Chain A
Amino acid sequence: MTDAKKKELQRIACKVRLGIIEGVYHAKSGHPGGSLSIADLLTYLYFAKMRIEPQNPKWEDRDRLVLSKGHCAPGLYSVLAQRGYFPEKELQSLRHIGAMLQGHPDMKHIPGVDMSSGSLGQGISAACGMALSGKLSHKDYRVYAILGDGEIEEGQVWEAAMFAGNKGLDNLVAIVDSNGLQIDGTVAEVNSPEPIPDKFAAFGFAVLTLDGHSFDEIERAFDEAEKISGKPVAIVMKTVKGKGVSFMENQVSWHGAAPNKEQYEQAVAELNAALAEIEGGR
């Protein structure tokens, strides 16, 4: 990846993170931790990888993204707003009565949301269905499903993994956001699904692992994923929950909590400083 491209993605990722904080702060609830951990991934996919037309969100040949860990909707909404699916201002009414942006992704009303999700473990099944239907129609679109490392404790994930492996859905990429934390504590102590790469491999996936905050590694993995045929791909990425906001990083308490005014101002100041540094270095 060129330095210019990397800087541009870093700049957008900062704005995506600001949007997450903006949304959750105004909602007075929501899930900032896991949204921040996938902000770099979402930025890469929507700005550098996926074949999409924001002005034509239902385009039938588009690549699809299913946020199986649907509670991280603030992250998805923020990147969609950045990409021009809807005005950024919408983020301020997240979770409000009458607002377009529901607490969890709602495909019926939100441009760019390819599948409603939120009840964990279900999105990857829908992604498999999209991938299968695409193959039947001889379409070359690709389907990305983002899962949490806590989410994969749900048995349905492994039913879907078995199906994807058995049917050889090589147009499907399952991404596990391995931030190591879930509501009740660390994933390791709650009910560890480790070793995650081995499990997906056992179900017939080609598995790639990477640092989910390195655009170089992200790009390398997703480019490689495209070359794999005959089997689905699992990308297990190590991330930091709450990444980009110092007091939220690696803190389980920020899984599903909104910042107060003071915390909000600090988070915005930190992210603006990061943004200024990136822009200054251009």
Chain B
Amino acid sequence: MADMIKKATRESYGEALVELAEQYPDFVVLDADLAAATKTGLFKKAYPERFFDCGIAEANMMGIAAGIATTGRRVFASSFAMFAAGRAFEIVRNSIGYPHLHVIIGATHAGISVGEDGATHQCCEDIALMRVIPGMTVINPADDVEAKAAVKAALELDGPVYLRFGRLACPVFNDKSTYRFETGKGITLADGGDLTIIATGLMVYEALKAAEMLKKDGICARVINIHTIKPLDTQLILKAAYETGLIVTAEEHSIIGGLGSAVSEAVCEDYPVPVVKIGVNDVFGHSGPAADLLKEFGLSADNIYTRAKAAFAKKK
């Protein structure tokens, strides 16, 4: 696992737009003066006539996207997660969500791993904001392979889609030749009966590493990758709750409103088991190198291992 190729999912997003452009000749891409960073710049270079810069005006960009979607044309609207989900929330809710328009929001720079830009740009609230909108599909891919598959899947969906991408280069652990993406279906990456680690985004790879560490202590952890946070794969999660009796969630997002909350909501109705939530603990981030921040905020295999082991001890 050590020498894996690393790539940021924002890069995958930009590349996927280019790769899919001929197969889907109708779609256009909007950005808000961040094309170089969101990587829609790759598409802009290849298909300038299908790229529109809305300038630093995310609210208007989301409205433009909605209007384009009413004409039956597919459209991506890109910015940083902070502005796409945060600043433009009410436009996404009322102009895109309420009329259930097929706008694909490509939100990059999600989470604490934005790094040096600091708290104002580290969006750890976007999953919460987007999943509360009725009919919104929320996808948080774990690596390059999954991110590209998610972009393609989003083109085939109905209604609004929120795609969450990161700035930091992360290990590409999925095998492109065998990987299958199905919207709303979690992927069991490791089997185990002692507890289940449910992770999303860049925390999936950390969860896999944590499971290996737990194995050395004789604890068999199941690892589930939830790339689609909404609609949630409730069936797979309830099965894990029933069969392992303990869930640890891991996400690069606030512990309020994200994957941990979604999983808790699912199990508490039908089969309540303890849910240990690993994420950003209701605090703002700060500046620093991404890798150091992830460690500091407990978004690491080490922390998953420690928390899971402690919870497993209590379970016994």
Contact = CB atoms under 8 A, between A and B. Distances in A.
Interface of A: 60, 64, 66, 106-108, 114-119, 122-134, 136-137, 155-156, 159-160, 162-163, 166-167
Nearest to A116: B99
Given A107-B99, A133-B68, A162-B57, A122 B63 contact: yes
A122 B59 CA distance: 8
Interface in B50-83: 50, 52, 54-55, 57, 59-60, 62-73, 75
A195 to B, nearest CB: 22
Contacts of A126: 63-64, 66-67, 70, 95
B91 A129 contact: no
Nearest 6 Cβ contacts at the A-B interface: A129-B67, A125-B63, A159-B60, A126-B67, A159-B57, A129-B64
Contact of A163 (B64, B71, B98): B64
B28, B54, B100 interface centre (most CB from chain A within 10 Å): B54
Interface SS majority for chain B: helix
Given A122-B59, A125-B95, A133-B68, 7 more contacts: A118-B94, A128-B60, A128-B67, A132-B68, A162-B55, A163-B54, A163-B57
Nearest to A166: B55
Contacts of B75: 129
B90 interface: yes
A119 B71 CA distance: 21
B69 A129 contact: yes
11 contacts: A64-B70, A66-B67, A106-B98, A107-B70, A118-B94, A126-B67, A131-B67, A136-B28, A159-B55, A160-B60, A163-B57
A175 B68 CA distance: 20
A115 B55 contact: no
Interface in B244-272: none
Nearest to A129: B67
B73 A125 contact: no
Contact of B59 (A130, A133, A159): A159
Contact of B64 (A115, A132, A155): A132
A149 B294 CA distance: 49
Contacts of B67: 66, 115, 125-133
Interface string B162-194: 000000000000000000000000000000000
A125 B90 contact: no
A167 B72 CA distance: 21
B91 A163 contact: no
Contacts, number: 107
B29 to A, nearest CB: 12
Nearest to A105: B99
A103 B59 CA distance: 23
Interface residues of B, number: 28
Instruction: Kindly name the residue among A106, A114, A163 whose own CB sees the greatest number of chain B CB atoms within 10 A.
Output: A163
A173 to B, nearest CB: 14
Nearest to B56: A159
Contacts of A107: 70, 99
Contacts of A134: 71
A54 B62 CA distance: 29
Contact of A130 (B52, B62, B71, B91): B71
A133 B101 CA distance: 15
A129 B65 contact: yes
A60 B94 CA distance: 23
A123 to B, nearest CB: 8
Contact of B63 (A136, A160, A162): A160
A162 B32 CA distance: 13
Given A107-B70, A108-B100, A130-B68, A125 B94 contact: no
Contacts of B63: 122-126, 128-129, 156, 160
Nearest to B59: A156
Contacts of B68: 129-130, 132-133
Interface in B26-62: 28, 50, 52, 54-55, 57, 59-60, 62
A122 B71 contact: no
Contacts of B52: 132, 167
Nearest to A141: B71
Given A115-B70, A130-B67, A122 B99 contact: no
Nearest to A128: B64
A114 B67 CA distance: 9
Nearest to B71: A133
A60 B67 CA distance: 13
A155 B56 CA distance: 13
Contacts of B91: 119, 122, 125, 156
A125 B68 CA distance: 10
Contacts of A60: 71-72
Contacts of A128: 60, 63-64, 67
Chain B CB within 10 Å, residue with most, of A116, A124, A129: A129
A134 B68 CA distance: 9
B99 A125 contact: no
A156 B73 CA distance: 23
A101 to B, nearest CB: 16
A118 B98 CA distance: 11
Interface in B85-117: 90-91, 94-95, 98-100
Among B65, B91, B100, the one with the most A-chain Cβ atoms within 10 Å of its Cβ is B91
Interface in B207-256: none
B149 to A, nearest CB: 27
A128 B55 CA distance: 14
Of A60, A119, A155, most buried by chain B (CB within 10 Å of CB) is A119
